[in-house]
Structure 1
Amino acid sequence: MTKKMTGGQAAVEALRAEGTSHVFGLIGSATMEMFDALYDAEDINFIGVHDERTGTHMADGFARMSGEAGVILAGQNGPGVTNLVTGLAQARAAYSPVVAIGGALASGHRYRDAFQEVDQDALFRPVTKKTWTATGADRVPEMFREAFREAMAPRRGPVMLNLPRDVLAAEAEYEPLQTRDQYRPYVAPGAAPQAVAQAADMLSKARQPVIIAGGGIKNTDGAGPCLSLAEALNCPVVTSPGHGDALPFDHPLNAGQMGPRGNIVASRLVKEADVILALGTRVGFNATFYSYDNINRDAQIIHVELEPTAIGRYFPAALGVLADAPTAATQIREAVERINDRAVADAWTEGFKSERAAYLAKRDAEAQVDAMPIHPSGLFKTLRDVMPRDAAVTMDAGTLCLQATDALNYYHPRSLFTPLDFGLVGFSFAAGLGVKLAAPDRPVISLMGDGGFGMTVSELSTAVDYGINTVTVVMNNRCWGAEKAYQRDFFGERYIGANISSPPFDKLAELYGAKGYKATTLDEMAQAIEDALDCGKPAVIDTDVDPAALYSFRRDSFKHRGG
């Protein structure tokens, strides 16, 4: 039986067929038919945001935590949709499946310099997997199916679907809509048997093997297969930057995050390994800076990836394996045979375990817990001590959050959410709101600098209005820390634009109807975290952090200055 609906009603029915539970958005006149249909959709929670950019970060966080597509609706063409650009560029860098829906001009008004006209297709092509415009009301369900299929297909990423006013207003007869299980069933592809046998042989013969676990392990809940293989080989595992939660922190073979922004133990393993199994990672910029300073030039790399163009792209692969990472790990585990002559490899792993234990003990012992104002090392130790084991943590870019990435402990997959390669300031708080909606029973703690929180503070209204109770820790050093560090280290302390001022964020939170805390000591911070998690409201902790505790992470960028 067919059903007569407007394009706007069909759009909402298409979301329902996808099992969509939340839509983030900002109302606009271009999509009124769709908003009116959402009014009747009691099974879809609409979260009204204050800025389309931060709404996109919420959809991004929701997608990464849930494993499903996050949906953002920019109700207005022109300025409403242009605000999505930064958020979608961020989602693309993180391979996050965000479905962006934008209002668009009436079809008859295009190319006439109409009010709020911009070429939305051209604008979004560089920052999405696919961008297109619906051509008629009768094709709305088809194009929504294409949007979700494209966003969720490996490698995942954001898409942009523009909906002209006349398309949403027009009526059409529709066949019953297909559900997602009917039109995009998916079975993870395994590795070819020959590749499995070769990988197993290389790993069994390795004297100093290491596994790199990336997003292809984290985002598929693949810790079990990865660690089962590691245990069979008695082989250490490092995680790629931003994916320190891919494996439980306390597993004895977990070395933590590698690379220039990781820890010295994990980084050494990759620099000295003779065989590297890269599982679901590009071995890209954040992991290596594309430099053999951060990976052994002589290592044989077994590169397992779902994206064929990623295999061997930055470093030559001795063996490229086109497969789902945890599936391939299981296959290799079944093929691996422990041989008697493993003394060298076992000694390599035992040495790593001792070094890792010493590193963690030193990290705690050397944390500056009495410094005033608070030193980042002391703050991170306090967070390690008081954060619940199941906490999800979101972070911005910037010097303090980069220092924090490998300084906290993650015990569950999908516990760490960062901007990854896009390096975005202003991501964390909004993303945390999306993470919390995807996992309401888990505590969510968002770390930000004062600059980044100032960019996005208006979403406190969203948090309060919809009861999204996250805890945001504002590490307040009154500056743009990363850039100030570069000015200090490479430009003779010629500071310009580096220092900023902000209102008391704890008091500002109270004005929004949230709960605010001020912490000037680590004891106050520990108590504030516990109170904030129990307060039943969105909470903001404003803490003073030493403005001199800055670190230049991208020293490679300023080698020309002799620093």
Structure 2
Amino acid sequence: MKTIKLSMAQALLRFLDNQYISVDGTETKFVKGVMGIFGHGNVTGIGEALERSPGSLAFIQGKNEQGMAHAAMAFAKQSGRKQIFACTSSIGPGALNMVTAAGTATVNRIPLLLLPGDNFACRQPDPVLQQLEHPGDYTISAVDAFKPVSRYWDRIVRPEQLMTAALSAMRVLTDPAETGAVTLALPQDVQAEIYDYPESFFAKRVHLIDRRPPATQTIKRAAALLSGKRKPLLIAGGGVHYSEATEALAAFVESFRIPVAETQAGKSALPWNHPLNMGGVGVTGTLAANKLAKEADVIIGVGTRYSDFTTSSKSAFEHDEVQFININISGFDAVKQNGLAVTSDAKEALTALQQALAELNYASGYDAGELASLKAEWDREVQQLYTAEHEAGLSQTRALGVINESLPPSAVIVAAAGSLPGDLHRLWRPLEPKTYHMEYGFSCMGYEVSGAFGAALADRGREVYAVVGDGSYLMLHSELVTSLQEGVKMTVLLFDNSGFQCIHNLQRGHGSDGFGNEFRYRNPLDGQLTGSYMPIDFAAQARSLGACAYTVHTAQQLHEALRQARAETVSTLIEIKVVPGTNTSGYESWWRVDVPAVSESPKVEAAHRRMAEETGKAKKL
């Protein structure tokens, strides 16, 4: 058996450089490169390997470990989970900065390979700088924090362990049902240790991602269930995109006149103006979709995990005899809502179910006029919100209207947290698939700028826009600098409403007068944060980093800034001053947020009674 003498880190990179996936006969190199920030825990191990023997792997220098991991996640998401960047960090705080991103990837079912440095396996110099010592269990290190947020976790304490660990990592990363964050903890001394690795370990590996067909009997059961239902509603989740099932979805619903509602991850599965697309569903859903959800006697969930925002905390579906058919590649998600589980690739299942229903001559009980009327009513509402002027200045919905009108259909928007995801889910009008890039599984503040960089890196033929509030931007915008360094242009649309206004609104809707969520100076009279708003110049800050920047206060200024930003050759930030509290809400939905039963405020106690009443109505299973 031929062997190659390499350090463990060198062997890891050589292995990663030879991994490929094959989907529907198309082969793609799986690992594009490595994003990293070096420290004493990885600079002389993986760092040396990247410097001297990277193969074809690209290296991108991150500016914040969480930021670069979010960028890697967004790259994988925009690539349809067909290509990834690995992320490496030092030990201690550098590693722990990636834990949030690991949780974000796992919740959203996105492949993310994390390679944090770890304590010395030999323990000779312990405790080293940044080492976490646990007096009751010396085997625990900071990297153990990744265990609950990883789909696979391993610590490589001997160089030969790399082989089984690397193969296990690839199994999870390339599995559409099991994928998420994969963490390989790399002790800094082991990274440099030498081993005679068999040449076969480095042979080109093509991981076949076969479409899982549905069981024939399961399709028959699903068709039989549907055949007795007159008011079906299909909920399109992110699995529609990952399965590349948008055409199959359209063919299915058009065959039987089944209206479609979209989750945040599923939005853009159908063009907004498709006659059967009723828009977002649930807490941030449209009036049309939420009305249909209340009346539906069967829900066909395709690639959705049924988060509480999708189900309005299990209150969205009010029909006494509503049943669920769940098409999902993940058995874990397919059984939710006590549904009939169709554990299958979405495209395969939709095609098979369409054929089975056609044989039964199935048609929904809706007539075209009923659905057209609901859709037209909502379209008028969107148009009103997009065009209405606000006496105090530029409203958030008006600004979104200008942006939606100005961007080309192929442009990608990236968002994650605050009030913007709600408005975008309800109001945004995408025409092409994969142009609506929303991280709402974790709703992780700070994802937006990093995610826009990752999406732009993956999809260089499209314009990419981060749609972000000032609160999220302040939390994390480090990879704006990386985009400038790499020459990967993106545009940041920063909505400045002077605080965490989404949570400020949530507070006030549940009995609070508003506390601690606006960016105000401390008031010496009452000792609280009730002074005047802080005047932050985000455009000036962006210019100081090397980006182009504009500040706008009106719809006309925004329209002009968008035009100019498209002509810029480097990443650009548009600071949009919007009136606080001018986002959308409601539309026959409810979200469970528990409120104390006892308070000094009668408003809080009243909110508790309302919460208890609504909770009593919601489904328990």
Deviates more, 1:546-555 or 1:443-452: 546-555
Q: Which of 282, 285, 290 is matched with 1:267 structurally?
A: 290
Q: CA RMSD in A?
A: 2.4
Query: How much has 1:106 moved relative to structure 2?
Result: 1.7
SS of the residue 2:509 aligns to? helix
**Which amino acid is the alignment partner of residue 571 of structure 2?**
P
Q: Which of 154, 160, 164 is matched with 1:132 structurally?
A: 154
**Which amino acid is the alignment partner of residue 4 of structure 2?**
K
Structure 1 residues 23 and 296, CA, compared in 2 at 3 Å: closer, same or farther?
farther
The answer to whether residue 448 in structure 2 is matched with residue 428 in structure 1 is yes
Matched-pair contact (CA < 8 Å) for 1:14–1:177: no
The answer to whether residue 389 in structure 2 is matched with residue 370 in structure 1 is yes
Query: How much has 1:297 moved relative to structure 2?
Result: 4.3
Q: Which of 292, 302, 307 is matched with 1:284 structurally?
A: 307
Residue aligning to 1:332 = 353
SS of the residue 1:457 aligns to? coil
Query: How much has 1:52 moved relative to structure 2?
Result: 0.4
Whole-Å Cα distance in 2 between the matches of residues 529 and 391 of structure 1? Answer: 12
The answer to whether residue 248 in structure 2 is matched with residue 225 in structure 1 is yes
Q: Which of 376, 379, 388 is matched with 1:357 structurally?
A: 376
- Provide, for residues 70-121 of structure 1, a one-character-per-residue CA deviation record: whole Å limited to 9, x for no partner: 3343331111101111111111111111011111122012895443223245
Residue aligning to 1:149 = 171
**Which amino acid is the alignment partner of residue 127 of structure 1?**
V
Whole-Å Cα distance in 2 between the matches of residues 220 and 167 of structure 1? Answer: 39
Structure number with higher helix proportion: 1
Q: How many residues align?
A: 559
Structure 1 residues 489 and 362, CA, compared in 2 at 3 Å: closer, same or farther?
closer
The answer to whether residue 592 in structure 2 is matched with residue 556 in structure 1 is yes
Structure 2 unpaired stretches of 5+:
20-28, 133-140, 521-533, 598-603, 608-621
Residue aligning to 2:530 = none
1:147-546 to 2 correspondences below 5 Å: 147-153=169-175, 154-177=177-200, 182=205, 184-294=207-317, 296-313=319-336, 315-317=337-339, 319-337=340-358, 342=363, 345-347=365-367, 349-371=368-390, 372-500=392-520, 501=534, 503-546=536-579
The answer to whether residue 97 in structure 2 is matched with residue 83 in structure 1 is yes
Matched-pair contact (CA < 8 Å) for 1:191–1:328: yes
Whole-Å Cα distance in 2 between the matches of residues 223 and 74 of structure 1? Answer: 35
Query: How much has 1:432 moved relative to structure 2?
Result: 0.8
Query: How much has 1:494 moved relative to structure 2?
Result: 4.5
**Which amino acid is the alignment partner of residue 373 of structure 2?**
S
SS of the residue 1:5 aligns to? strand
Whole-Å Cα distance in 1 between the matches of residues 275 and 201 of structure 2? Answer: 46
Query: How much has 1:17 moved relative to structure 2?
Result: 1.2
Query: How much has 1:552 moved relative to structure 2?
Result: 6.9
Residue aligning to 1:37 = 49
Matched-pair contact (CA < 8 Å) for 2:32–2:58: yes
Return the TM-score normalized by structure 1: 0.93
Structure 1 residues 133 and 247, CA, compared in 2 at 3 Å: closer, same or farther?
same
Query: How much has 1:503 moved relative to structure 2?
Result: 3.3
Deviates more, 1:414-423 or 1:332-341: 332-341
Whole-Å Cα distance in 2 between the matches of residues 411 and 290 of structure 1? Answer: 29
Structure 1 residues 21 and 350, CA, compared in 2 at 3 Å: closer, same or farther?
same
Structure 1 residues 42 and 112, CA, compared in 2 at 3 Å: closer, same or farther?
closer
Residue aligning to 1:98 = 112
Structure 1 residues 346 and 248, CA, compared in 2 at 3 Å: closer, same or farther?
same
Residue aligning to 1:28 = 39
Residue aligning to 1:63 = 76
Identity rate of aligned residues, in percent? 23
Matched-pair contact (CA < 8 Å) for 2:453–2:479: no
**Which amino acid is the alignment partner of residue 534 of structure 1?**
A
Whole-Å Cα distance in 2 between the matches of residues 502 and 69 of structure 1? Answer: 42
Matched-pair contact (CA < 8 Å) for 2:62–2:68: yes
Query: How much has 1:548 moved relative to structure 2?
Result: 3.3
Structure 1 residues 548 and 194, CA, compared in 2 at 3 Å: closer, same or farther?
closer
Whole-Å Cα distance in 2 between the matches of residues 262 and 490 of structure 1? Answer: 20
Structure 1 unpaired stretches of 5+:
none
Query: How much has 1:179 moved relative to structure 2?
Result: 7.2
Query: How much has 1:235 moved relative to structure 2?
Result: 1.2
- Provide, for residues 38-92 of structure 1, a one-character-per-residue CA deviation record: whole Å limited to 9, x for no partner: 2243622211111101111101101101123533433311111011111111111
SS of the residue 1:30 aligns to? coil
**Which amino acid is the alignment partner of residue 345 of structure 1?**
G
